[in-house]
Amino acid sequence: MAEPQIAAQFLRHVANCVELTGHSAAGLLARIGVTREVLEDPDGLIPLASFVSFFEDAAELVRNPHFGLHAGRLSGSDSLGPLSFLFLSAPDLRTAFTSFTRHLATMQQASRNQFADEGGWATFSYGVLDQSLTRRRQDAEYSIGAMVSLARQFTGGEIELREVRFEHERVGDYARYRDFFGCDVFFEQDCNAIAMDGRYLDARGRVLSPSLHPILEEHLQRLAGRGTAASLSEQVRAMIEQAPLDAPPDLAEAARRLDLSVPTLHRRLTAEGTGWRKLVHEHRMETAARLLRNSRRNVSMIALDVGFAESASFTRAFARHFGVPPGRYRKGEGAAQK
């Protein structure tokens, strides 16, 4: 599988935020092999791993554990390239989140990106799916913070959040999170997400003309058309990864969404060297590994989180998959730990 990519324009805003602290971003850019010319290229792509690494190194350089939130607070109409303009030109906030969610994959691969509007609640969630990228807290806090900043700009500040959730454990002062988001913030959760009252979704935009929205959508659709179509196993893997842990996807439903029969889905996955059960199992193991790295939940709780009835069978399955049992993996042992 090709290395996941992200639009170089996304890194430009982060590099500029480093410069605003009085530090030079040149050394960090050189470390990941990216020049300023690449950052200014509207069609430029860089490895997602380089972007995430730059963010973590930048936080250490400026000695700010909340650097991701800081960069998110400063997000504006050009911080996410055409996606920022797409969001801010939508006719209403519902369309802004829906269209952003639909087109993010065009500019950032290997990410989970969902928007749900149900039961009076609206929820936007985000996460990097590449489990090998273990240092990604700054990216998560920036991405959630940037979406909140865009939503506030869109509505002229007339929006209040109900809650914010992060996958990782809290680092630094909780008051920083509370002050920025203006609501309760929870850590060591199943996903990175913001939740708000659904009544805000009808709010009209106050920044850009809605006439720009279809033009930007067409542009992003053309960009998407230039990419290589995902393999069937990649499409299935994305479905599995996007589903909540407590509501795993159904095989028949996945086949229906792909316009395939269940036997055909099995046959084509086998031809690609994998299978439905294998993909589900890999997702469970990768999720368990992330929870072991980024949370303080005990092994029994993590076993239940990823669908095992008891911890003994989970421990055996984990050891077979990673070569070490969960406790040793948490301590940093094993070839899979990066």
- For 114-169, the pLDDT digits (tens) are 899 987 899 999 988 777 788 899 999 999 999 999 999 999 988 999 999 999 99
Provide the β-strand partners of residue 45: 7
pLDDT at 280 over 50: yes
How many residues are recorded in the chain? 338
CA distances from 91 to 33, 38, 203 (A): 39, 32, 9
Q: Which two tokens stand for residue 79?
A: 């911080």
Tokens describing residue 74: 């400063």
| DSSP string of 97-148, one letter each residue | HHHHHHHHHHHB-SEEEEEEEETTEEEEEEEE--TT----HHHHHHHHHHHH
Q: Is the pLDDT of residue 110 over 70?
A: yes
**Hey, what's the torsion of the CAs at 276, 278, 282, 283, to 10 degrees?**
20
For residue 58, pLDDT over 90 is answered with yes
User: Could you tell me the domains of the chain?
Assistant: 63-223 (no CATH), 232-330 (1.10.10.60)
* Per-residue confidence (pLDDT) for residue 25, from 0 to 100: 96
As a whole number of angstroms, the distance between CA 32 and CA 47 comes to 9
Residue 230 is predicted with a pLDDT of 63
Tell me the average pLDDT of the chain. 90
pLDDT at residue number 336: 46
Contact criterion met (CB below 8 Å) for 222 and 281: no
Eight-class DSSP state of 204: B
CA distance 338 to 325: 16
Q: Has residue 269 got a pLDDT over 60?
A: yes
pLDDT in tens, 199-239: 999 999 999 999 999 999 998 888 876 655 567 887 888 78
Instruction: Quickly list DSSP for 23-50.
Output: --SHHHHHHTT--HHHHT-TT-EEEHHH
| pLDDT tier for residue 297 given thresholds of 50, 70 and 90 | confident
- The whole-angstrom distance between residue 324's C-alpha and the CA centroid of its chain comes to 28
pLDDT of residue 217: 92
Note the pLDDT tens digit of each residue in 312-325.
Answer: 999 999 999 999 99
Place of tokens 């303009």: 85
- Token look-up 């979406």 returns 147
Tell me what pLDDT residue 135 has: 87
Rounded to an integer, the average pLDDT of 297-315 is 91
Residue 276 has pLDDT above 50, yes or no: yes
Pull the structure tokens for residue 27.
């050394």
Return the percentage of the chain with pLDDT > 70, whole number: 95
**Which of 264, 268, 192 minimizes the C-alpha distance to 234?**
268
pLDDT, tens digit, 9 for 90 and up, residues 166-202? 999 999 899 999 999 999 999 988 889 999 999 999 9
Q: What percentage of the chain has pLDDT greater than the value 90?
A: 62
Taking alpha carbons only, the member of 82, 72, 192 closest to residue 127 is: 192
Alpha-carbon Rg of the chain, whole angstroms? 20
Distance, CA of 194 to CA of 144 (rounded, Å): 7
Q: pLDDT tens digits for 250-265?
A: 889 888 888 889 999 9
pLDDT for position 182 = 96
| Beta-carbon contacts of residue 72 (< 8 Å; ≥ 6 apart) | 141, 142, 143, 144, 145, 146, 148, 149
Q: What's the confidence (pLDDT) of residue 243? A: 75
Whole-number Å distance between alpha carbons of 296 and 153: 36
**Residue bearing the bigger pLDDT, 96 or 235:** 96
